[in-house]
Amino acid sequence: MHALLVQQPSLFDGLAATVELDAPLGGLTWFKVGGCADALVTPKTTDALSTLVTRCHETGTPLRVLGSGANLLVADEGVDGVVVRLDAPCFHTVEFDRDGPAPVRAWAGADLMKLVQECARRGLDGLSQLAGIPASVGGAITMNAGGAFGDTAQAVSSVGMLTHSGVRSDISAAEAGFSYRHTNLPRGIVLWADLALMSGDRETIRARVKEIFAYKSRSQPMADRSAGCMFRNPVEASTGLRTSAGRLIDEAKLKGFSCGGAYVSPVHGNFIALREGGSATDVLAVAAEVQLRVLERTGVRLEREVVVWSRRGELP
């Protein structure tokens, strides 16, 4: 356990939150593997979250936020410090029919796929490009989640943040600096996102959501134990444009390659999946071999899109 959690018992004193020490994290991720967190904390209010963030900052305690676990691999050794889950009702709220240019405010713990469906049901256009992407709203904002049809940034007007020192701030989309699978948001925790959605024809929007979801179901191994696309699409040196990481992996004849219980999906080369009994170490071994073989064949080094937590911080 992280030494500061032992030395600073006041970290959780009087905190409106549930606290579990040495908490298994694997079951909370889509891979279903990985070690424990020193502490898993679920704040019951935004004030409790703010207090916890401030205390962690003041004591130098590592702090991570666990969303839906869809883009995350937890190392078998586990992670140090505090892992926060925004699982209380206040963090799952979605406020519709607000005044101004952004009629929807979605809090960070809200489920993105459910939000896409609900907006389509209400005839609100602007999120259909995210159909079939498993994420919490906070996670989608943090990494600007997206796919072939568009990304999260297209719908964002502003982002509510809790800085690492516990101060709340409102950041415009321009200030957030959205780019491919990246933002320039300050250190801290996303609290909510204001979404600039437009009224449209309900049936047309719903049909578009179904179309995109059906495409993903056909082309991706959505039922497998994976974390979605393992690698970012790299920029092609000759054109300056992004090319498909999945295509490079396919052309390297790596579909079906396996190590231990992990394997490259035969359906989509950019998905690494796990069999029963597989481990996080197996996933990392397959990912490393894929990177090596694609580099040897093309000169392109694939960068991971999936986040890896360990006791050494986030692995590059």
Q: What is the dihedral of CA 149, 190, 245, 132, to 10 degrees?
A: -40
**Confidence at residue 240, expressed as pLDDT on a 0 to 100 scale:** 85
**Confidence at residue 9, expressed as pLDDT on a 0 to 100 scale:** 58
Interatomic CA distance for residues 27 and 270, integer angstroms = 23
Annotated catalytic residue 181:
yes
Closest among 137, 99, 100, 145 to 115, alpha carbons compared? 137
- pLDDT value at 6 more than 80: no
- pLDDT value at 271 more than 80: yes
For the chain, the first-to-last Cα distance in angstroms comes to: 23
In the numeric block, which tokens belong to residue 66? 């666990």
Which of 36, 119, 259, 305 is labelled catalytic?
305
Mean pLDDT of 199-223: 93
Over the stretch 57-95, which tens digit does the pLDDT of each residue have? 999 999 999 999 999 999 999 999 999 999 999 999 999
- pLDDT value at 235 more than 90: yes
Which of 36, 56, 119, 229 is labelled catalytic?
229
**Confidence at residue 316, expressed as pLDDT on a 0 to 100 scale:** 62
Determine the topology of domain 92-204 in CATH: 3.30.465
- pLDDT value at 5 more than 70: no
Mean pLDDT of 239-244: 90
In angstroms, what CA-CA distances link 156 with 102, 123, 144, 163, 174? 8, 17, 10, 19, 10
Mean pLDDT of 119-129: 96
- pLDDT value at 101 more than 90: no
- pLDDT value at 250 more than 60: yes
Domain boundaries, given as residue ranges, for the chain: 3-87, 92-204, 221-314
Q: What is the CATH number of domain 221-314?
A: 3.90.78.10
- Name the burial class of residue 101, with classes exposed (0-12), middle (13-18) and buried (19+) by CB atoms within 10 angstroms of its CB: exposed
- Residue with tokens 């990304």, as numbered in its chain: 151
Confidence of residue 102 (pLDDT cuts 50, 70, 90): confident
Q: What is the CATH number of domain 3-87?
A: 3.30.43.10
Which of 181, 225, 259, 304 is labelled catalytic?
181
Q: What is the pTM of this model?
A: 0.93
